[in-house]
Chain A
Amino acid sequence: MKKSENILGGAEIFFECLRREKVEHIFGYPGGAVLKIYEHLHDVNFLQHILVRHEQGAVHAAEGYAKASGKVGVVLVTSGPGATNTVTGIADAYMDSVPIVIFTGQVPSHLIGNDAFQEADIVGITRPITKHSFLVRDVNDLAATIRKAFYIASTGRPGPVLVDLPKDVIASKCEFIYPEDVEIRGYKPTYKGHVNQIKKVVEVIAAAKRPLLYVGGGVIMSGGSQELAFFARENKLPVAMTLQGLGAFPGTDSLSVGMLGMHGTYWANRAVDTCDVLVSLGARFDDRVTGKVETFAKNAYKIHVDIDPTCIDKNVVVDLPIVGDVKHIIAEIASEMPNPPDTEEWLSQINEWREECPLVYEDNDGRLRTEFVIEKIYEKTKGEAVIVTDVGQHQMWTAQFYRYNHPRSNLTSGGLGTMGFSLPAAIGASFAVKNRPIISISGDGGFQMNIQELITAAANKVPVKFIIINNSFLGMVRQWQELFHAEKYSFTDLSASNPDFVKVGEAFGIESYSTDNPKEVDSLLDKAFSVNDRPILLEFKVVKADMVFPMVPSGGSISEMIVKRLNPKRMI
């Protein structure tokens, strides 16, 4: 190729790089600073651009896409407000280690710092919530920067990377040289675990009487679910999962003790409290899991496997850390295990706890409850669906009552707890997963936080089942108000101010149904599952003031776990 033939404009280089990164979908919203990119996008045919209605929606959609597929989610927005609207989504992706690359337009280089129209220092604003960020100052750096951005986002502990693109850089031309290899001297993630540490882990687990695996989202991200299943089953090790870890191990397996932590199962929390060896795999000892750190797994020898060294000894000081890729480390531990530890007694103890305090709910008063809806969804999908939850009570009930068969099936905002996540994230996931149902579950509060994306769903005919669990309250906040804030239900009652969700859905061109009758749940779900070429919306009007139990109060110990409502007369 002659050199002159390889002179490309910034926008062409941009798309050439995306093509080589095998990007097939991009979530975005055009604007002044990225017009040149959109001009070229018009003729690009190797990828699909999905137009959102708010930039936050684009980021959550990219997150849903990335979480469901394991690929990097890509966002393209303009400068100023377009960029600042992505901030919540970026923070969400940072907390939950979601690999996304956000391209933001920027005012021309010579105007940076001048308070130019639609200028915002988005690199500065997002510095603490990105894994890394770049401001491209020269078109000659563009290809290498994009290459690095994808590399950083998807390797090590994944996370969001932002690339800020000044308008003049995109409009400039240069010779296109694509760097096949990436070399960043300050960034060398550790993948291989320390051999001696692994030997030590094997010894400790082999000698354990009451071992427990504490599994987080890292296992799913590293693709280590099969290795985990083999390891746990071969050695009869019970598996507790964090919110993000659900799906890493089949929820129906007898070794699964479900979710641990604040709203974890009674038996999972008792198991953590009693275990003698706790093996944390790709989890970060989050405060929603540990409660009071001083009493968390107080009798246990703690092993912590994580790819991010900063996670080790951050919240809880452990006895044996291993830095590396959890998939490979599980496989190595499994292959070195001499004999399985004798856990029969321990497993039967856990089963006693399971029977002592199972997950139950009131189901004989003829009124509709969230748990019932979730159980019905489970019944219909047999754990095969991709469930995208929002934040709050419905999220916890889903975590308790839906049992996932596969990794990358449970998409939710865990770390940041972003209301408004589910609706756009489910749309994003629908572009990654074609052969399984995608179910978005939101509360009535969170559903309204990115409600504008309903039109994105309708316009793209995505087969997402939007389920609104409407208790006419900001339910989780209400729960805290009842338990810890003197029953002052300050600004959590939406019953007088919620919209008619069926009319809302219909206004966006989406077939919508509503019920408060448990007997109608089956038929509505059947209707939803019969529709596979467009979105459908179901509103379930549930009991107003139910609470999620068990509950370990914030910062409390397992011994303070509340297992049921203390004052039954408040069961309205």
Chain B
Amino acid sequence: MKHTISVLVENHFGAFDRVATMFSGKGFNIRSISIGETEIVDISRMTIVTEGDDQIIDQVVKQLNRLIDTIKVVDLANTYHVERELALISLSLHKGSMEQIKNICDIFRGNVVDITNKSMMIEVTGPPDKIDAAVNVLAPFGIKEMARSGIVALKRGEQLKIQKKDNITT
């Protein structure tokens, strides 16, 4: 099963590398990884999408916690949370395709961010399945290049009671 894991790490030399080394060294899978600043100046947040059965995910969380540079590890799988991803998609333009692409872009609430005679770049933001859907629909037009940011995620302010188990560990 796919799990999104949010990790707060010390914002210093080598912290990212330690996390990446741990994943490769233990043979865990990384579907996507993103890292960026947080509201606290010396802490970064890594959002890692990984997959595995319960035992593997349990190990991933424990191994992340074991690293000295990690401050907090939260498996978001059993929490109410928001996930977003951004994709930049560059498409070839053919006769009459510009209008169609623009329409699809609007449906997905995307933006056109660059255009030439031969190509057009759009930006789509949303949950990863929305990005997948946009990519699927756009593929027939000829995707020249694509960059996806990987997922960023945050827990919602209020956690409802149906939450099965608290996977939050510090």
Interface residues of A (CB under 8 A from B): 123-124, 127-128, 131-133, 135, 137, 152, 184-187, 308-310, 312-314, 317
Q: A310-B59, A310-B66, A313-B55 are in contact. Are A186 and B10 (CB under 8 A)?
A: yes
Whether a CB of chain A sits under 8 angstroms from the CB of B6 is no
Chain B residues with a Cβ under 8 A of chain A: 9-10, 13-14, 17-18, 21-22, 25, 55, 58-59, 62-63, 65-71
Given the contacts A186-B10, A317-B55, A309 and B66 also touching, CB distance less than 8 Å: yes
Q: Decide if B18 touches A309 in the complex (CB within 8 Å).
A: no
Contacts of A313 in B (CB 8 A): 55, 58-59
B14 and A123: CB pair below 8 A? yes
Contacts of B10 in A (CB 8 A): 186
B59 touches A127 (CB 8 A): no
Closest CB-CB distance, A430 to chain B, in whole Å? 32
Residue of B nearest to A157 (CB): B66
B residues within 8 A CB of A185?
Answer: 71
The distance in angstroms between the C-alpha atoms of A124 and B14, with both chains bound, is 8
CB-based contact A186/B62 at 8 Å: no
Q: Quick one: closest A residue to B73, CB to CB? A: A186
Bound Cα distance from A310 to B69, whole angstroms:
16
Distance, CA A135 to CA B70, complexed state (A): 17
Residue in chain B with minimal CB distance to A308: B66
Residues of B with C-beta under 8 A to A312: 62
Q: Are A309 and B70 in contact (CB under 8 A)?
A: no
Q: List the count of A-B residue pairs having beta carbons below 8 Å apart.
A: 41
Partner of A309, one of B13, B14, B65, B68: B65
**Known interface pairs A124-B17, A317-B55. Does A131 touch B68 (Cβ–Cβ under 8 Å)?**
yes
Considering the chains assembled together, what is the distance between the CA atoms of A314 and B58 in angstroms?
9
Decide if A310 touches B63 in the complex (CB within 8 Å): yes
The CB with the most chain A CB atoms within 10 A, among B13, B21, B62, B67, is that of B62
Q: How far is the CA of A308 from the CA of B63 in the complex (A)?
A: 10
Contact present for B17 and A187 (CB under 8 Å): no
CB neighbours of A187 from chain B (8 A): 68
Q: Which residues of A contact B55 (CB under 8 A)?
A: 313, 317
Residue of chain B at shortest CB distance from A309: B62
Q: What is the CA–CA distance of A135 and B14 in the complex, to the nearest angstrom?
A: 9
B residues near A152, Cβ cutoff 8 Å: 68
12 additional A-B pairs beyond A131-B68, A185-B71, beta carbons within 8 Å, are A127-B21, A128-B25, A132-B68, A135-B14, A186-B10, A186-B70, A186-B71, A187-B68, A309-B62, A310-B63, A313-B58, A317-B55
Q: For B67, B68, B69, which residue has the most chain A Cβ atoms within 10 angstroms?
A: B68
Q: List 17 A-B contacts (CB under 8 A).
A: A123-B14, A127-B17, A127-B21, A128-B21, A128-B22, A128-B25, A132-B68, A132-B69, A135-B13, A135-B14, A186-B10, A186-B69, A186-B70, A187-B68, A312-B62, A313-B59, A314-B59
Contact: B13 with A137, CB < 8 Å?
yes
- Chain A contacts for B18, CB-based, 8 A: 127
Give the chain B neighbours of A132 by CB distance below 8 A.
68-69
Taking CB as reference atom, which chain B residue is nearest A128? B25
**Complex Cα distance A132/B18, Å?**
9
**Smallest CB gap from A185: residue in B:** B71
CA A312 to CA B71, docked complex, whole Å: 21
What is the chain A residue whose CB lies nearest that of B60? A310
**Are A310 and B62 touching (Cβ within 8 A)?**
yes
Cα A421 to Cα B125 with chains together (Å): 56
Given the complex, which residues of A lie within 8 Å of B14, measured CB to CB? Answer: 123, 127, 133, 135
Of all chain B residues, which has the CB nearest A135? B13
Which B residue's beta carbon lies closest to that of A129? B25
Residues of A within 8 A of B22 (CB): 128
State A132–B63 Cα separation when bound (angstroms). 13
Chain B residues positioned under 8 Å from A128 (CB to CB): 21-22, 25
Q: Is A186 touching B67 in the complex (CB atoms < 8 A)?
A: yes
Chain A residue numbers with a CB within 8 Å of B66 are 308-310
Q: Provide the bound-state CA to CA distance between A271 and B68, in Å.
A: 39
- Cβ contacts under 8 Å, B62 to chain A: 309-310, 312
CB A183 to nearest CB in B, in angstroms, measures: 12
Whole-angstrom CA separation of A184 from B71 in the bound complex: 9
Say how far B85's CB is from chain A's closest CB, in angstroms.
27
Smallest Cβ distance from A293 to chain B, in angstroms? 12
CB distance from A110 to the nearest CB of B (A): 16
Q: Which residues of A lie under 8 Å from residue B17 when comparing CB positions? A: 124, 127
Q: How far is the CB of A175 from chain B (nearest CB, A)?
A: 22
Q: How far is the CB of B5 from chain A (nearest CB, A)?
A: 15
A127 to B65, CA, bound (A): 16
Distance in angstroms between the alpha carbons of A133 and B18 in the assembled complex: 10
A121 CB, nearest partner CB in chain B, Å: 11
**Please, how many angstroms separate the alpha-carbon atoms of A135 and B69 in the complex?**
14
The distance from the CB of A90 to the nearest CB of chain B, in whole angstroms, is: 14
Tell me the bound Cα distance from A186 to B69 in angstroms.
6
A133 and B68 CA atoms in complex are apart in Å by: 9
- Measured CB to CB, the nearest residue on chain B to A317 is B55
Which residue from chain A places its CB closest to the CB of B13 in the assembled complex?
Answer: A135
- CB neighbours (8 Å) of A135 from chain B are 13-14
Query: Chain B residues with Cβ under 8 A from A186's Cβ?
Result: 9-10, 67-71
Q: Does A184 contact B68, Cβ atoms closer than 8 Å?
A: yes
Distance in Å: Cβ of A69 to nearest Cβ of chain B = 24
Least CB distance, B31 to chain A, in whole angstroms: 21
CB-defined contacts of A308 to chain B, threshold 8 Å: 66
Q: How far is the CA of A128 from the CA of B22 in the complex (A)?
A: 7
- Identity of the chain A residue whose Cβ is nearest the Cβ of B20 in the assembled complex: A127
